Amino acid sequence: MSAAEKPPLMLYLAAPRGFCAGVDRAIKIVELALKVYGPPVYVRHEIVHNKYVVDGLRRQGAVFVDELDEIPQTDQPVIFSAHGVPKAVPEDAAARNMLYIDATCPLVSKVHKEAKIHRKRARDILLIGHKGHPEVIGTMGQLPQGAVTLIETVADAESIRPQEPDNLAWITQTTLSVDDTSDIVGILQRRFPSIVGPHKEDICYATTNRQEVVKVIAAKSDVVFVVGAPNSSNSQRLREVAERSGAAASHLVQRAADIDWRALEGVRSVGLTAGASAPEVLVDEVIDAFRSRFDVTVELEHTVDEDVVFTLPRALREKVAEMEAAV
């Protein structure tokens, strides 16, 4: 199809989008562990929620397992995912004499520390999050069973009957909808005026930034596409935010092959963003797919610069330094 035959399309490209500092750090941890220790390197659960990333690391020699008992007796390291793990997992690894490396995002670790502080101060803890998500499992697993109550919805916030209503604290999953969480927190603060919250918001900077810019592009777009995995919480929230912010429809796609082009007949404007665990190569792939079918004009919608970088675990940094010094 020649350019003259292609229908025009305005593509609003969100910035920031894609990898956050925690995801970037987790992937680098696996890549450096493979470099330092050689394959195989074992990873408990998906290091981040993206099939393209996981498959790429698997090709380099990473072996992904659900639980530690799937790993044979070995001197090779096991890495814990960016979402965090219950404290029983590193305890189990230590009992098995495993070399383990924790790739938990530092912003998730911050929430773990908050939970432990609230526990020391004998507060009832309410965790705003989604049941079954690895991050929620990891956070609740920092404390004894029953110490944390999960709040998923505004209905939960209205109906919860804590044992210590005057000695409460709330924490959150880092990848939630900013607006939904605000509604839930508002209810909790109305019902329990003395409830204690985080000194600094738990929802991470990347989640907030990506949701803010998707609101901008959704208001100008017929359809919004979010590049991300179906089990990625932050990607699902981006899709929801786009729908609430003016787009007639929003779709989560893992890559260009997932796009239903028949549904785009008559569309003149599209918004495009990517969840925090989606690599830029997949965004480029989607843009190329649009260019093959439309006469595309790309307009970058840039709301904020991100310069957050998290340091790698000390033990891994030292190993890398030793290896480089020996060369």
Tokens of 203: 């929802």
d(CA 326, CA 123): 51
Written as one string, the DSSP assignment of 249-286 is EEEEESSGGG--GGGGTT--EEEEEE-TT--HHHHHHH
Tokens of 277: 């665990």
Environment class of 122 (CB within 10 Å of its CB; exposed 0-12, middle 13-18, buried 19+):
exposed
284: Cβ contacts below 8 Å, ≥ 6 apart: none
If you search the block for the tokens 């195989």, which residue do you land on?
40
Instruction: Give 7's DSSP letter.
Output: P
Look up 135 and say whether it is catalytic. yes
Q: Which residues of 44-56 are buried (b: 16+ CB within 10 A; e: fewer)?
A: bbbbbbbebbbeb
Given 46, 114, 135, 301, the catalytic residue: 135
Environment class of 128 (CB within 10 Å of its CB; exposed 0-12, middle 13-18, buried 19+):
buried
Active-site residues, by number, are 135
